[in-house]
Amino acid sequence: MNIYIALNEMLEYIEENLENKIEYSKLAQFLGTNEAMLQKLFSILCNISLSEYIRKRRLSKAGIDLLHGQEKIIDIALKYQYDNATSFSRAFEKFYGVKPSQIRKEPIGLKVFSKIHFDEREEDNENIEYSIIDREEMILYGKKVETTISDIRVDAPTFCKEMGRIYGDFQYGMTEYIQRFGEDKCYFWVLYNKYIEGLKTYEIPASKWISIRVNSQDAKDIQKAIKNFYTNFIPSCEYKIRELPELEYYHDDITDFLVPIEL
């Protein structure tokens, strides 16, 4: 399976249905996966959440409709799946910097969030070596920083350095989604395997894990390995991924990327 062909087919389906309700279960079928895995895969490859991508594409189309058409604002709001004119106006102003009602009175240069398209000739064919490990329940202690899927590549390494400076070497990193399909926000946790006063307790239940070893603790190397895992391993994965956050386990100058599974 060339995942980039499947993604382009899914993106074309989104484009054709911006005026309709888009079911994530339908989108997941293009990749042969579930909704949770679809969201993770899309955000890793596109550096934006799927919900945010759809929202920005709809607002891009709505701006063109307002500028060149005669439809009422409420009709355009409903057309692009907003419940009312107020919520549409709020989202529109956040995206464009002006209210919808100003577009026709004072025409401005509209910005467009372009449709994503993947080069279908691109294939990452790196082999993935992994092991299956068992871990008992873990009680970890740490802090989190609020970030977004598009900013986490910068925010996470910065937060790691800050936490290391204050509390010393840590053992785990973890991304926690705030609302999987609703918004772009997420948390990045830095976690320790021993109690430290002032840090919050985080319990991770016992599980089996896919363990991918990265011979580095550099953020770019870890991100590359995670991308490779989702683009090459997941499409043919025979394991069921559990609804638990993945972990990055740092030790001995290496990183183990841990994905919870059910056998």
Distance, in Å, from the CA atom of 12 to the CA atom of 154, rounded to the nearest integer, reads: 30
- Residue where the block lists tokens 């009680």: 139
What is 3-105's CATH number, 1.25.40.10, 3.30.390.30, 1.10.10.60, 3.40.50.300? 1.10.10.60
What is the structure's pLDDT at 2?
77
- How far from the centroid of its chain's Cα atoms is residue 149's Cα? 5
Q: Where are the domains of the chain?
A: 3-105, 130-262
What is the structure's pLDDT at 125?
54
What is the structure's pLDDT at 183?
59
Q: How far, in Å, are 50, 146, 148 from residue 184 at the CA level? A: 8, 11, 5
What is the structure's pLDDT at 251?
96
What is the structure's pLDDT at 214?
94
What is the structure's pLDDT at 180?
53
- Residue where the block lists tokens 């990183």: 255
Distance, in Å, from the CA atom of 162 to the CA atom of 31, rounded to the nearest integer, reads: 38
Sign of the dihedral defined by the CA atoms of residues 243, 246, 34, 54, in that order: positive
- Whole-prediction pTM value? 0.78
Domains 3-105 and 130-262 alike in fold:
no
What is the structure's pLDDT at 58?
96
What is the structure's pLDDT at 217?
93
The angle at the Cα of 158, spanning 154 to 159, to the nearest 5 degrees, equals 115
What is the structure's pLDDT at 203?
96
Q: How far, in Å, are 57, 89, 134 from residue 17 at the CA level? A: 11, 21, 43
How do the pLDDT tens digits run along the chain, 263 residues long? 678 899 999 999 999 999 999 999 999 999 888 888 888 888 888 888 899 999 999 999 999 999 888 899 999 999 999 999 999 999 999 999 889 988 877 766 677 899 999 887 765 555 678 999 999 999 999 999 999 887 888 999 999 999 999 999 999 999 887 655 455 788 999 999 999 999 999 999 999 999 999 999 998 899 888 888 888 787 667 788 888 889 999 999 999 999 999 87
Give backbone dihedrals phi and psi of 2, rounded to 5 degrees, phi first. Answer: -85, 110
Residue 205: left (phi > 0), alpha (psi -120 to 50), or beta? beta
> What CATH number is given for 130-262 in this structure?
3.20.80.10
What is the structure's pLDDT at 140?
98
Q: Comparing C-alpha atoms, which of 140, 125, 135, 113 is closest to residue 202?
A: 140
